[in-house]
């Protein structure tokens, strides 16, 4: 089989490839998770100011990063599917949404539990927290809208419009700590300067990010396979599978 | 190693409720999602069998 740029745009080929890859993603998620948690709890030192409460960072930051990344990926594939009438792209966008919403929830929840002992409050309507909460509403809105429309193509296209409009929120979340006076602290990691963070803490955080990324791929690919079977049930290759 | 006993580890410097409340919720939600997604795929496969059965019956 010659591999081309759009080889896996065919739902049948995506279904087969995804099925082969998913176990590897689970394996990677497990390995990175164990490594990340080991470094985070056994090796990274206690924080001078926050004590051991800071260890929430090892899931809070990776979850927040995934919540933003998944939304941008979702918006990209939704737009691609809409503009090129590419079914697999639209199906993939729908597969991403629940996982993105889940990570947004985890970021908000762990943030609240971190904020209570350190800031003295579970919640504050500062720029970052508010825009992350809006991200959760965008995910839920996308899911509700696409589930409400029966015809898959119209559902996907309506969802794509909503996803694109909501995409402006992601840079707002990212730059909020720079643009506004926020309770949430500014970035400790940047592309241009050295990290303002102990290297073992940073290592644990990065390992957990890879863990969440591998987990996302495993879950999203599985969901995408289910969606392919649901939406392509009329095709010959799917009927052949069922026999 | 940062901790000398399991008790110390669970206590997490007094922040046990917040740290384990965070990790516990994250794990619970992720395991639930994984289980639901597996169920959805199995249901989709099973539904194919039904559809095929109906089509064959109506021929």
ipTM of this predicted complex? 0.91
Whether the pLDDT of residue A32 is over 70: the answer is: yes
Q: Provide the pLDDT for residue A219.
A: 98
- Mean pLDDT to the nearest integer, A179-203: 83
Q: Provide the pLDDT for residue A1.
A: 72
> Distance between CA atoms of A114 and A126, rounded to whole angstroms?
15
Lowest mean pLDDT among A174-178, A208-212, A225-229: A174-178
Provide the pLDDT confidence category of residue B52 given band limits of 50, 70 and 90. Answer: low
Chain A contact set for B23 (CB, 8 A): 56, 59
Of residues A7 and B25, more confidently modeled = B25
**Burial of A233: CB neighbours in 10 Å, binned 0-12, 13-18, 19+:** middle
E strands present in A83-173: none
What residues contact A101, with CB distance under 8 A and at least 6 apart? Answer: A136, A139, A140, A143
Q: Which of A56, A59, A242 sits opposite B52 (nearest CB)?
A: A242
Count of all residues that appear for chain B in the document? 59
Provide the pLDDT confidence category of residue A89 given band limits of 50, 70 and 90. Answer: very high
pLDDT tens digits for A115-128? 999 999 999 999 99
Nearest C-alpha neighbor of A111 from the set A140, A139, A133: A133
- Mean pLDDT to the nearest integer, A164-170: 95
Q: Which of B37, B40, B49 sits opposite A242 (nearest CB)?
A: B49
The residues spanned by each domain of chain B are 23-59
How far is the alpha carbon of B1 from chain A, nearest alpha carbon, in Å? 5
- Mean pLDDT to the nearest integer, A52-79: 97
Helix axes A87-119, B16-58, angle to 10 degrees: 160
Q: Are B6 and A192 in contact (CB under 8 A)?
A: no
Which contiguous run of DSSP H or E holds residue A82?
Answer: helix A57-84
Whether the pLDDT of residue A29 is over 50: the answer is: yes
Nearest C-alpha neighbor of A197 from the set A29, A58, A59: A58
pLDDT tens digits for B7-46? 999 999 999 999 999 999 999 999 999 999 999 999 999 9
DSSP code, position A5: T
- Mean pLDDT to the nearest integer, A86-103: 97
Lowest mean pLDDT among A34-38, A138-142, A191-195: A191-195
- Mean pLDDT to the nearest integer, A91-119: 97
Q: Are A64 and A132 in contact (CB under 8 A)?
A: yes
Percentage of chain A exceeding pLDDT 70? 100
Provide the pLDDT confidence category of residue B59 given band limits of 50, 70 and 90. Answer: very low
Whether the pLDDT of residue A34 is over 60: the answer is: yes
> Distance between CA atoms of A120 and B33, rounded to whole angstroms?
31
Helix axes A11-38, A199-231, angle to 10 degrees: 160
Chain B contact set for A59 (CB, 8 A): 22-23, 26
- Mean pLDDT to the nearest integer, A92-101: 98
Q: Provide the pLDDT for residue A107.
A: 98
Provide the pLDDT confidence category of residue A105 given band limits of 50, 70 and 90. Answer: very high
What is the average pLDDT value for chain A, to the nearest integer?
A: 94
Which contiguous run of DSSP H or E holds residue A116?
Answer: helix A87-119
CB pairs under 8 A between A and B: 100
Provide the pLDDT confidence category of residue A2 given band limits of 50, 70 and 90. Answer: confident
Asked if B27 has any chain A CB less than 8 Å from its own CB, the reply is no
């Amino acid at each position: 089989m010659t591999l081309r740029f759009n080889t896996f745009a065919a739902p049948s080929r995506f279904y087969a490839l995804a099925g082969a890859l998913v176990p590897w993603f689970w394996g990677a998620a497990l390995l990175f998770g164990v490594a990340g948690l080991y470094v985070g709890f056994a090796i990274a030192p206690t924080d001078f100011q926050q004590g051991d409460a800071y260890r929430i960072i090892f899931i809070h930051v990776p979850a927040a990063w995934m919540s933003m990344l998944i939304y941008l990926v979702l918006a990209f594939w939704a737009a691609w599917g809409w503009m090129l009438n590419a079914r697999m792209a639209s199906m993939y966008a729908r597969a991403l949404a629940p996982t993105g919403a889940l990570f947004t929830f985890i970021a908000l929840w762990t943030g609240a539990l971190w904020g209570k002992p350190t800031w003295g409050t579970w919640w504050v309507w500062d720029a970052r927290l508010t825009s992350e909460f809006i991200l959760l509403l965008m995910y839920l809105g996308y899911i509700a809208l696409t589930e409400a429309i029966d015809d898959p193509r119209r559902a996907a296209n309506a969802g794509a419009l909503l996803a694109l409009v909501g995409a402006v929120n992601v840079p707002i979340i990212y730059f909020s700590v720079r643009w506004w006076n926020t309770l949430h602290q500014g970035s400790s990691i940047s592309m241009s300067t050295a990290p303002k963070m102990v290297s073992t803490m940073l290592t644990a955080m990065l390992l957990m990010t890879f863990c969440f990324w591998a987990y996302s791929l495993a879950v999203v690919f599985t969901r995408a396979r289910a969606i392919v079977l649901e939406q392509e049930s009329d095709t010959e290759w799917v009927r052949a599978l069922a026999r | 190693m940062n901790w000398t006993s399991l008790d110390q580890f669970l206590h997490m410097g007094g922040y046990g409720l917040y740290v384990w409340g965070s990790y516990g919720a994250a794990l619970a939600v992720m395991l639930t999602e994984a289980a639901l997604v597996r169920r959805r795929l199995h249901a989709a496969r099973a539904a194919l069998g039904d559809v095929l059965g109906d089509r064959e019956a109506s021929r």
